[in-house]
Amino acid sequence: MLAVSKTKPVSDIEKAIACGQTEFGENYVQEGVDKINYFSTNSSLIWHFIGPLQSNKTRLVAENFAWCHTIDRLKIAKRLSEQRPESLPALNVLIQINISDENSKSGILLSELDGLAAQISILPGIKLRGLMAIPAPESGYEQQVQVLTKMEQAFKALQSQYPDIDTLSMGMTNDMDAAIACGSTLVRIGTAIFGARDYSSNK
């Protein structure tokens, strides 16, 4: 379980750590880096970048995070590869799929996956670990499963080609049951852990 701590203060994260949570997700680069630095003495924590990533912010992600969930173009993957310090393990990356084909959402179409995966998998400094998706909201369980099953199928197909593929990041507070049923290995939970967010101070 990935605790999505974006916009939440370090005091909330400290409470989650006290309950045994070790993996946290951040959407805003500088906010995430500030929190990583704050908790730098706790080597058990694993930090995931899960927001849209612009070219001018790739170095901060490459130098500070352990995971990046939102790869949707080769340019970003190349920058992360080049900017990952040799002193750190390879940056774990996920390809983001726009599974609901929404114009407003980041991610690639499933038809583009094979080509991008082939290009990313050979880059040094990063390690392709799987897929991520943020489906359009669906209120019914069956409708959620119908969409998420497409991700499960794509994930299994990718696994058959690349032995290191082991992570399917999908499912949030409102659809985590359906996501788990469809093979999610990493659910991103924010509201159910930390409560509603205040976006008035976005980074």
Going from N- to C-terminal start, the domains of the chain cover 2-189
Tell me what pLDDT residue 101 has: 83
pLDDT confidence band for 198 (50 / 70 / 90)? low
Residues 6 or more apart from 64 whose CB is under 8 A from it? 32, 33, 36, 47
Residues 99-125 pLDDT 10s = 988 777 789 999 999 999 999 999 999
pLDDT confidence band for 203 (50 / 70 / 90)? very low
Tell me what pLDDT residue 64 has: 98
Percent of the chain with pLDDT over 70: 97
Tell me what pLDDT residue 197 has: 65
Tell me what pLDDT residue 87 has: 97
Tell me what pLDDT residue 102 has: 76
Tell me what pLDDT residue 38 has: 98
C-alpha pair distances (Å), 138 with each of 104, 111, 185:
16, 23, 20
CA distance 42 to 140: 40
User: Of the CATH numbers 3.40.640.10, 3.20.20.10, 3.30.1360.170, 1.10.10.10, which one belongs to the domain with range 2-189?
Assistant: 3.20.20.10
